Amino acid sequence: MNGIILKSPKILLFVVLILLMFMNCNETNKIKRIKLGHGLDTNHPVHKAMVFMAERIEKQSTGRIKIDIYSSQQLGSQRECLELLQLGSLGMTKVSSSVLESFAPEFEIFALPYLFRNDDHRFKVYEGKIGRDLLHGLVKYRLMGLGYYDAGNRSFYTRSKLIKSPEDMTGLKLRTQESAMAISLVNTLGGAATPISWGELYTSLQQGVVDGAENNLPSLYTSRHYEVCKYLSMDEHTSIPDVILISHLIWEKLSKNEKKIIQEAVDASVKYQKEIWQDETKFALKKIQDSGVKIIYPDKAAFIKKIEPIYRSYINKRGGSLLLQIKGVK
């Protein structure tokens, strides 16, 4: 039989063509599975937005691309997820821009306190040229930024002391994200910054390793830190976005159409997250209030005055050009 095939060039060509078609068919039918690891709880609005994104990708790719989401630091801390992304061992992640800072220093800008005038200003920066250029610039760090999820405003909460002004922060051990800018903010305000990963924070608060922390309302609620921290001071010092990323190594292997499907799904999920954020924030506030947390809205002027040196040292280190561009966004 083999002899007949080899002797007849036509039959040989036919067999080769069938084999090639079969291989090709297999390639197009192969399902691409991309793992996405992040640190938030499954009830968090940012997690919900990523589920929305994954469903959309699966639908638009008619089931050929599947995103498997691992929440709550199951695949490691945010920093570890970024390292795995650079190696191509993890496909996607969502991290706070604060954690991204030590990989891409340009992202420090978003940790500057009282950077934005209001919500509208913030969204214009994320969604406009400045935000996009920052995301695309990540390629030089072997990362690919796909979009920003809003993370509202961050405020301080503590176990046993109400922060009415920066003076009340003196000596308080406050958890920060693993970021130089976040550490400098707490120290400049008079506290003692203690960087701890998000996943370890509940236990650290419970055991009194730290006296408090800071975050937005949906994160304070979904992490259940309000069970331990009974004082919340809505000073709204920073608005630090979450960033959704894909490994550059994996991105480069995707077809043009696959890239389009993923980017469009991310964009739609960013819009969806923005829509649900307001309601989720109101819901979180109500739950936190109902649990007996004392909430105050302090005068922000004293905080704004006290953080001035952070701007001076930022400009010394990074120059003022990006800052001016952001301030100039109307």
Q: Which residues bind ligand GCU (CB under 6 A)?
A: 39, 46, 78, 96, 151, 177, 198, 215, 219, 242
Q: Minimum distance from CB of 255 to ligand GCU (Å)? A: 30
DSSP 191: S
Cβ nearer to ligand GCU, comparing 114 with 202: 202
Q: How far apart are CA 186 and CA 329, in angstroms?
A: 28
CA atoms 289, 97, 90, 63: torsion sign: positive
Could you tell me where the DSSP H helices lie in the chain? 2-7, 9-29, 45-60, 78-87, 97-100, 119-127, 129-136, 180-188, 201-206, 217-222, 248-253, 256-290, 301-306, 308-318, 321-327
In Å, how far are 145, 146, 245 from 263, measured between CA atoms? Answer: 10, 7, 11
First to last CA, the chain: 77
Q: For ligand GCU, give the closer residue by CB, 60 or 96.
A: 96
Minimum CB distance to ligand GCU smaller for 60 or for 77: 77
Identify any residues that bridge with 143 across adjacent strands, giving them in sequence order: 247
Nearest residue (CB) to ligand GCU, 157 versus 251: 157
Question: In terms of CB distance, is 65 or 138 closer to ligand GCU?
Answer: 138
Torsions phi, psi for 225 (to 5 deg): -65, -25
Which neighbouring-strand residues pair with 213?
A: 157
Nearer to ligand GCU, 96 or 188 (CB): 96
Q: CB of residue 146 vs ligand GCU: minimum separation in angstroms?
A: 15
Write down the least CB distance from residue 151 to ligand GCU, Å.
4
- Beta-sheet strands, E only, within 154-288: 154-158, 173-176, 192-195, 212-215, 231-238, 242-247
Dist CA 209 CA 192 (whole Å): 12
Find the shortest distance in angstroms from Cβ 120 to ligand GCU. Answer: 20
Q: How far is the CB of 328 from ligand GCU (least distance, A)?
A: 27
- Give the amino acid at 133: D
In 152-263, the DSSP E strands lie at 154-158, 173-176, 192-195, 212-215, 231-238, 242-247
Could you tell me the smallest distance in angstroms from the CB atom of residue 219 to ligand GCU?
3
Smallest distance from the beta carbon of 39 to ligand GCU, in angstroms?
Answer: 5
Q: Which is nearer to ligand GCU, 213 or 262 (CB)?
A: 213
Nearer to ligand GCU, 111 or 261 (CB): 111
204: its two tokens = 């650290």
Among all chains, which residue has been given the structure tokens 């919900």? 48
Residue recorded with tokens 């992202």: 107
User: Smallest distance from the beta carbon of 61 to ligand GCU, in angstroms?
Assistant: 27
Q: Which is nearer to ligand GCU, 65 or 213 (CB)?
A: 213
DSSP classification of residue 30 = P
Least Å from the CB of residue 263 to ligand GCU:
21
* Sequential DSSP letters for 55-105: HHHHHHTTTSEEEEEE-TTTT--HHHHHHHHHHTSS-EEEEEHHHHTTT-G
